[in-house]
Amino acid sequence: MKRIKAIYPGSFDPPTNGHLDLIERGSKIFDELVVAILRNPEKDPLFSVADRRKMLEAMTSGFDNVSVDTFDGLTVDYALRVEARAILRGIRAISDYEYELQMALMNRKLQPGLETVFMMPAEKYSYLSSRLVREVAQLGGSIECLVPDLVEQKLREKIDVAHKFANREQSAGKTPSEGKSKFRKKKL
């Protein structure tokens, strides 16, 4: 019987419990699952690709058939390179559907042999996104139960560094807009 390998591409900035939920579901239906982090030079991520990789590797260490990789360029080209037959994507709500449908159909046009498989995370994660996690964490809200402990810790470290940086700038008489802190620069 043919083994089915799938990739789960995304930004994972940062990875959340919703991502982990999907990885667990994917690991049960695919023989092999590669969590593939997009290296996107145009984006200004909160976490470096190396940091995201480390977090995802730690999060997925308990799954025998899951690995973590990075890629750039087209997702379909990467999928072909690693001999995957499917692209796994999560759909949380109807609002995700339009964008995901467009991507799936474009990917099908580019590579008709590759299937996109949509899975739904647990309901308790249906409102969860990396963007909201970043925003809530940056504004001092609790992100407990939304991300693994390791990710929460890394977020807190980032925020502490950003606050120290902002305080230093303020003491040096700079206005916040002059600063280079990612937390101010980042579009939420």
From residue 26 to residue 65, the character string flagging contacts with ligand PNS as x (rule: CB under 6 A) and all else as - is: ------------x---------------------------
Candidates 27, 52, 89, 130; catalytic one: 130
Q: Which of 4, 5, 11, 115 binds ligand PNS (CB under 6 A)?
A: 11
Candidates 3, 28, 43, 185; catalytic one: 43
Question: Closest CB to ligand PNS among 74 and 145?
Answer: 74
Whether residue 34 contacts residue 67, with contact meaning beta carbons closer than 8 Å, is answered with: yes
Candidates 19, 53, 85, 158; catalytic one: 19
130 catalytically annotated: yes
Q: Which of 6, 10, 60, 155 binds ligand PNS (CB under 6 A)?
A: 10
Question: Closest CB to ligand PNS among 11 and 181?
Answer: 11
Q: How far apart are the first and last CA of the chain?
A: 46
- Burial label for 171, CB within 10 Å (0-12, 13-18, 19+), is exposed
3-state secondary structure of 154: helix
| 6: CB partners within 8 A, 6+ apart | 26, 30, 32, 33, 34, 84, 85, 86, 87, 88, 117
163 catalytically annotated: no
Question: 17 is written with which tokens?
Answer: 């419990």
- Per rule CB under 6 A, count of chain residues that contact ligand PNS: 9
How far apart are alpha carbons 126 and 92 in whole angstroms? 5
Q: Which of 17, 27, 60, 107 binds ligand PNS (CB under 6 A)?
A: 107
Question: Closest CB to ligand PNS among 35 and 137?
Answer: 35
* Torsion angle of the four alpha carbons 117, 132, 66, 58, in this order, in degrees rounded to the nearest 10: 180
Active site residues: 19, 43, 92, 130
Residues forming contacts to ligand PNS in the complex (CB under 6 A) are 9-11, 38, 74-75, 103, 106-107
